[in-house]
Amino acid sequence: MYSLLYVDDEPSLLELAKVYLERTNTFSVAIATSAKEGLELLKKTPFDAIISDYAMPQIDGIEFLKTVRKEYGDIPFLLFTGKGREEIAIEAIDNGADFYIQKGGQPKAQFAELAHKARMAIDRKRGEHSLRQSEQRYKAVVEDQTELISRFTPDRVYTFVNEAFCRYFGKKHEEIIGSKFFPQIPEEDQRNISEQLALLTPDKPIAIIIFRITMDDKVVTWHRWTYRAIFDNKGSISEYQTVGRDITSQKETELELTINRDYLNLIFTSVQAGIVIIDAKTHVIIDANPAAIKMIGADEDQIVRRVCHTFICPAEMGKCPVTDLGQNVDNSERVLIRANGEKRSIVKYVIPTKLNGHDCLLETFIDNSQRKLAEEELQAACSQLAATEKELKKKIEELEKKQG
């Protein structure tokens, strides 16, 4: 229900209007017989709209309107006065009245028009107020964003930029709005942007584009921008709205990870020691480097997804020094069973690690066969030398006896 303040110096008309307007169950009406009395009521009670006569003693309707506008803002105001006062109507509208309505004629029709115009004025004002609130909320949200937000026409004339956009490029709003501001973008990136925007349609109006911008200090930055094309009724693009973010740190991290990954991959593939990555729970081989594949003597698909004890430490099937004994590392001599059944001695080094969040074992091993063979040959030579020395010593003793 709308609340009305009706001010008129004719008490009988006030009462009649109050009865009629409240009968519609749309309005509650407070009445005052002078502008002064009306202003006193306004101090105590907020109203949705004001209806006022023009010709009143002390303070007329126009002065009342001016005071209301000064003290109470844009509250809907309807001037309800006698005929033949067109100049008053113009003055009323000039001073902010929402409607000018002439008195006279059939009361029912007259008050029906008054009720209709009052509803119109209130609904319009509420709509304007709601729109302003929405615009303020939208502006607050946009301005508070850390993303760079802008709108521009197809010929690159900017119609809006938020504060973050201005701060980032070191520009003021007035330097950008209405101008063809264009950051320094490499030619190949400009071509890519143009190609992507040319593909936008009313059905697919959005494109996400990553490109570089060279700042005023010549530092090259990476950006990720979302472009939304806004189409008019004829299907032509009238404006673009963009939301951008500096992703230089992300790009640098990605580049660093790529370099590290390539570096680790180079080590993994080129090192002469065998390397296998094993699932710590199932003991299944997840990956194997070329050296490990060569040492085992089988194809990669015959090694990966097989239990590691198939080839390495077969005597310890189901028992892993690292996972079962709780050791941090395992550095020991073990046996490698090649695909052809040949046994080789290896020195194995195992450490627990994580791969994509899963517990794994990184196992490195080298062929120990040559060292074992050398040790055996050395041991045999030492044994032969000891036997020779013993035999020689015996002969010397026998010779000394003969000479004695």
How would DSSP label each residue in 137-186?
Answer: HHHHHHHH-SSEEEEE-TT--EEEE-HHHHHHHT--HHHHTTS----B--
Contact in structure between 319 and 326 (CB atoms under 8 Å): no
278: enclosing H helix or E strand: strand 274-279
Chain mean position to CA 101: 55
Task: Return the percentage of the chain with pLDDT > 70, whole number.
Answer: 84
CA atoms within a 13 Å half-sphere pointing along the CA-CB vector of 229: 21
Dihedral sign for Cα 10, 11, 12, 14, please.
positive
Same domain, 383 and 335: no
Same domain, 33 and 105: yes
Same domain, 175 and 132: no
Instruction: Characterize the bridge pairing of strands 237-246 and 220-231.
Output: antiparallel
Query: What's the start-to-end Cα distance of the chain, in Å?
Result: 145
Task: Answer whether residue 265 is part of any domain.
Answer: no
Task: Answer whether residue 260 is part of any domain.
Answer: no
Is the whole model's pTM more than 0.85, yes or no?
no
pLDDT value, residue 319: 54
Structural domains in the chain (count): 4
Lookup result for tokens 């992300």: 250
Whole-angstrom distance, CA of residue 349 vs CA of residue 331: 4
Same domain, 289 and 236: no
Task: Answer whether residue 256 is part of any domain.
Answer: no
The closest of 264, 296, 294 to 362, measured between CA atoms, is 264
| Boundary residue ending a domain (121, 140, 159) | 140
How many of the other CB atoms lie within 10 Å of CB of 361? 22
| Boundary residue ending a domain (140, 157, 185) | 140
| Boundary residue ending a domain (84, 107, 140) | 140
Q: Helices 107-144 & 11-23, crossing angle to 10 degrees?
A: 70
Task: Answer whether residue 262 is part of any domain.
Answer: no
pLDDT value, residue 372: 67
**Whole-number Cα distances in Å, 61 to 34, 85, 91:** 9, 12, 11
Q: Which residues constitute the domain of residue 97?
A: 2-140
Q: What is the CATH number of the domain that holds 201?
A: 3.30.450.20
Q: What angle do CA 340, 329, 355 make, to 5 degrees?
A: 80
Q: What SS3 class is residue 163?
A: helix
The closest of 130, 127, 54 to 95, measured between CA atoms, is 54
Same domain, 336 and 403: no
Same domain, 306 and 207: no
Whole-angstrom distance, CA of residue 132 vs CA of residue 122: 15
Whole-angstrom distance, CA of residue 184 vs CA of residue 199: 23
Whole-angstrom distance, CA of residue 161 vs CA of residue 152: 9
**Whole-number Cα distances in Å, 177 to 26, 143, 150, 153, 159:** 46, 15, 10, 11, 5
Whole-angstrom distance, CA of residue 223 vs CA of residue 213: 7
Task: Answer whether residue 294 is part of any domain.
Answer: yes
Same domain, 8 and 106: yes
Same domain, 215 and 188: yes
- Residue 100: Cβ-neighbour burial (10 angstroms; 0-12, 13-18, 19+): buried
Q: Note down pLDDT in tens along the chain; length 404 residues.
A: 899 999 999 998 899 889 989 988 889 999 999 999 999 999 999 999 999 998 898 899 999 999 999 999 889 999 988 755 667 878 888 888 888 888 877 878 888 888 998 998 888 888 877 676 666 655 555 555 678 889 999 999 999 988 889 989 999 989 999 998 888 999 999 999 999 999 999 999 999 999 999 998 889 999 999 999 999 988 899 999 999 999 998 888 887 777 777 777 777 777 788 888 888 888 888 888 898 899 888 888 888 888 888 887 765 554 555 444 445 555 677 888 888 888 888 888 888 888 777 888 888 888 877 666 666 665 766 676 667 767 777 777 766 666 55
Task: Answer whether residue 397 is part of any domain.
Answer: yes
Q: In the numeric block, which tokens belong to residue 128?
A: 């304007």
pLDDT value, residue 77: 94
Q: What SS3 class is residue 157?
A: coil
CA atoms within a 13 Å half-sphere pointing along the CA-CB vector of 82: 6
